[in-house]
Amino acid sequence: MGSHSGIYVNAYQAEGGFSPQTFGIAVVCEILTMLGMMFWWFFLLPLLFPILVWAFAIFWGYKVMQKSK
C-alpha cells in the first residue's frame, strides 16, 4: 500500500528541485494510508483511504508526466 512513495520522488526530481508543496501532499497521503490501516476494523470504511491514495498517486504521476513533456 505504499503507492504514494512516487510522490516523494517527484518532490525532489520531477519538479526541478525540492518542492515543499509536493512533499506535503506525499505526507498527507502517508497519514491517510496509515489511518486507514490503523482503523480498518471500524466498519471497514477507512480501507477506502488507501484505495483513494492509490488512485490519486496514479493521477499525480500522470500529471507530472504531462508537465514534463
Q: Would the pTM of this model clear 0.95, i.e. be above it?
A: no
CB-CB contact of 61 with 8 (8 Å): no
**Which residue type sits at 58?**
I
- Judged by average pLDDT, the poorest of 9-18, 22-31, 46-55 is 9-18
Cell of 12: 525532489
Rounded to an integer, what distance in angstroms lies between the CA atom of residue 25 and that of residue 7? Answer: 8
* 3 state SS of 18: coil
Domain range holding 55? 5-67
**Which residue type sits at 17?**
G
Q: What is the pLDDT of residue 2?
A: 64
User: How confident is residue 7, by pLDDT bands cut at 50, 70 and 90?
Assistant: confident
CB-CB contact of 33 with 55 (8 Å): no
Residue 69 has pLDDT above 80, yes or no: no
Split into its structural domains, the chain has a count of 1
